[in-house]
Homo-oligomer: A and B are copies of this chain.
Amino acid sequence: MNGRKLRILTETVQKLLRRGAVANIQKMLSRIHPADIAVLFRHLSQSERVNLFRLVRNVDKRAELVSELDAELRADFLQSIGIDEALKALERMSADDVADVLRNVPDEFGSELLARMHKDDSLQVEGILRYAADTAGGIMVPDFFALPQETTAEDAIGRLRAAVDLEMAFYVYVVNEFEHLVGVVSLRQLVIASPNTRLSSIMESNVVRVRVDTDQEEVAALVSRYNYLAIPVVDTSNKLVGIVTVDDVIDVLHEEATEDILRMAGSAEDITESRSLWRGVKTRLPWVGVAFLSGVAAMFILQTFVDLSSGALGLLLFLPMVLGLGANVGIQSSTLIVRGLATGLLAEGRGRGFAAREVGVGIALAVLYGMLAGVGAILHFDPAHGWIVGVAITLAMVGATLVGAIAPFLMAKVHLDPALATGPVVRGVVDLLGIVIYFAVANPLFTTSTGG
């Protein structure tokens, strides 16, 4: 769904809701994937969301929609529809998804949901909630297909056929009398084995498994390395307690790649849709601070090598800081936007808003660190000129932020990979622009007021 499509869909749904055109909406909803309805939800008011949700007739589709919602939006939404309707949706969700919901709602609401779920379900969910969200235990589902080792191939096929709706039955896991994982049999091996063979004699006993506390990144690496559709999860005593399926692994891969990329840019947090200006500033602040401090250090180092105490030459002391701060805020902006484009977030018609907010964050940081640099300049020159340096640095940083924010869109427009916008070409442009802005602003003012 691209930006234009989404805008049209949003407007149509809002119009139909106002008109109360129930039949039309239901027909429309039946053709939209729950993941896309979840995107649409971002652009609706709370009451529109609730009305729309009640018009989704298929319960499984409602459940899938709830799973797909952004965590913060979902917490508010579930409280809006009330505990009874929330429960009905949770009942149709897999245990790992329910655990994910409960991790992100207020404690009290979560406890009430858990208390009112079917005993079997809540036990499964509590089983998952015991583990950290980023471990195998925290992302596993308990719906695996396991049989005792003395089962015959024929019996196993019969059992498997009866369980044909267990969509994740990719492998038959073999367990001993203590429910310990002792082997695995593929569906193909099962079919070609003679009917009376026991699983113990055809199973692969060297099963790749993970423990409940294995980091999700390692789980994802194993699944992708060995091309598995699922990987078994055991507890400390080797008892089989769940499987992690490939679709959850894909989510982990996205998360980890995003995390790596943002760390490269010094903005180590996920790109959330609901990130506020203030949260953006808070996340990026310390990393810009690192660039600032290294700029300060560079100033002192420069001073020991070259005598720049006189006149306009003093401006050169701030050069490494100007370049460092500019590169930092510029790359942060471009990286966040490039990653947003790559993960599809910005393709959903939110490009402008997201970019505008990141530019806002960049400007806030520019003002802040420009002021700090100004204070530094006051100490090195005199109060009358310190503020000139501060303003010049602020403007240079604003320029860098704008270049960083615009470049990915320009690249996309001329059909180049937006990722290039975080690379050396744009960094070169940011450097040069920074130098020009800094000197163009500071130099005339400075030379004028010191008399040349």
* Interface set of A (CB-CB < 8 Å, partner B): 31, 33, 35, 157, 160-161, 164-165, 167, 170, 186-188, 190-192, 206, 208, 221, 223-229, 246-247, 249-251, 253-254, 256-257, 259-261, 263-266, 268, 287-288, 290-291, 293-294, 297-298, 301-302, 305-306, 312-313, 315-316, 319-320, 323-324, 327-328, 335, 338, 342, 344, 417, 419-420, 422-425, 427-429, 431-432, 435-436, 439-440, 443
Contact = CB atoms under 8 A, between A and B. Distances in A.
Q: Taking the full assembly, how many copies of this chain does it contain? A: 2
Contact of A312 (B291, B306, B320, B419): B306
A263 B313 contact: no
Given A188-B165, A221-B344, A250-B246, A435 B320 contact: yes
Given A260-B261, A301-B439, A443-B306, A431 B161 contact: no
A439 B293 CA distance: 20
B323 A315 contact: no
Given A246-B246, A291-B428, A422 B263 contact: yes
Closest 7 CB pairs of A and B: A294-B428, A305-B439, A266-B424, A263-B419, A257-B257, A260-B419, A264-B422
Contacts of A256: 342
Contact of A306 (B35, B254, B342, B439): B439
23 contacts: A31-B206, A33-B208, A33-B226, A160-B164, A164-B191, A167-B170, A224-B247, A224-B250, A246-B250, A250-B253, A259-B419, A263-B417, A264-B419, A266-B423, A287-B424, A290-B425, A293-B428, A297-B432, A306-B312, A306-B316, A316-B316, A320-B323, A324-B427
A422 B261 CA distance: 9
A423 B164 contact: no
Given A253-B254, A291-B428, 16 more contacts: A31-B206, A33-B208, A35-B227, A164-B190, A165-B192, A167-B170, A227-B247, A246-B250, A260-B417, A263-B417, A287-B424, A293-B428, A298-B435, A301-B435, A323-B323, A324-B427
B264 A261 contact: yes
Contacts of A422: 263-264
A261 B256 CA distance: 13
A364 B268 CA distance: 33
A229 B157 CA distance: 22
A301 B312 CA distance: 15
B443 A305 contact: yes
Contacts of A191: 164-165
A417 B255 CA distance: 14
Nearest to A291: B424
Contacts of A290: 424-425, 428
Nearest to A440: B305
A94 B282 CA distance: 50
